[in-house]
Structure 1
Amino acid sequence: MRSRSCSRTGCSARATSTLTYAYADSTAVLGPLGLRAEPGTYDLCATHSSSLSVPRGWDVIRLPAAETDAGPSSDDLLALAQAVRVAGLGAETELPVEPTVGRRKGHLAVVADG
């Protein structure tokens, strides 16, 4: 597996985190490095991750780095969705503990709306 470089122009440092924007919620989500580069995401090195700034009025959600390199758990997508909901609504909303089983695509599960 080849390591990826920082997406910032002129930076060739090794990427350590992935940045994703939720434009509708005016939220930037910075989390552990994704399994692969995806359109609409940006890989950042440790320096650029720690100095991330967003437009005024936007929120930044910083997800903790994984302690082990065991890969994503089945709760990763639900945790990200919950974090965006909390940032957007300003209050915690409950998600089902056991998601409805749906079709799997890659490492993310497609969950039917209940």
Structure 2
Amino acid sequence: MSQFRRCSRPGCGKPAVATMTYAYAESTAVVGPLAPAAEPHSWDLCDHHAEKITAPLGWEMLRVNHIDIDDDEDLTALAEAVREAGRVTSGLVESEGPELHPEDPADPETSLHPVHRARRMQDERQRRRAHLRVVPAEGESEFPGADDADDTDGADASVDYPEN
């Protein structure tokens, strides 16, 4: 079984990053952050499909990028509710609570989600090669083919490595 949910669109196997639900009473489609668990009547979407999806005719599309709690009272109430929920135990299993993970799944810098991890790896590869540049061999133009249309392979070009 895979450790991440996939996009619900047919033929798309990319990792899901958003969840779309319909509020039928308000004729509104809502695309928001990936729900913690898969639910019936909701659709998980990859990054591409979450950006491109549209609402049915006559409906409103609501996009929620992140959930932000500004009010101190709301934040305090939420913290209290979480604290109370943590105190409720059945006594059947001795546990000190859920295992805490330092990475936030919504934070692209620390998330282990495949979409965020792939972007970080691509950025790292680009940074590793940023110090390299192609230097033309003696007697060649900086742009292959600029002087001679037949010599476009660039086989005589060398790589200049910085000195440590």
Give the TM-score taking structure 1 as reference length: 0.57
Higher strand fraction (1 or 2):
1
Alignment gaps of 5+ in structure 2:
86-164
Q: Describe the SS at the equivalent of 2:62.
A: strand
Three-state SS of the structure 2 residue aligned to 1:8 is coil
Across the aligned residues of Structure 1 and Structure 2, the Cα RMSD in angstroms comes to 2.8
C-alpha offsets along residues 23-58 of structure 1, whole Å, 9 cap, x if unaligned? 111000100001010111100001111111111211
Q: Which residue of 1 aligns with 2:120?
A: none
Quote how far apart the aligned CAs of 1:65 are. 3.6
SS of the residue corresponding to residue 32 of structure 2 reads strand
Q: How far apart are 1:12 and its partner, in Å?
A: 0.2
Q: Which residue of 2 aligns with 1:58?
A: 59
Task: Count how many residue pairs are aligned between Structure 1 and Structure 2.
Answer: 75
**In structure 2, distance between residues paired with 1:43 and 1:5:** 7
Give the corresponding residue for 2:9: 8
Q: Following superposition, which runs of at least 4 residues in structure 1 exceed 6 angstroms of deviation?
A: none
Which segments of 5 or more consecutive residues in structure 1 lack a partner in the other structure? 67-72, 76-96, 107-114
Q: Secondary structure at the match of 1:24?
A: helix
Q: How does 1:58-77 map to 2 (within 5 A)?
A: 58-65=59-66
Distance 1:2 1:40 in 2: 21
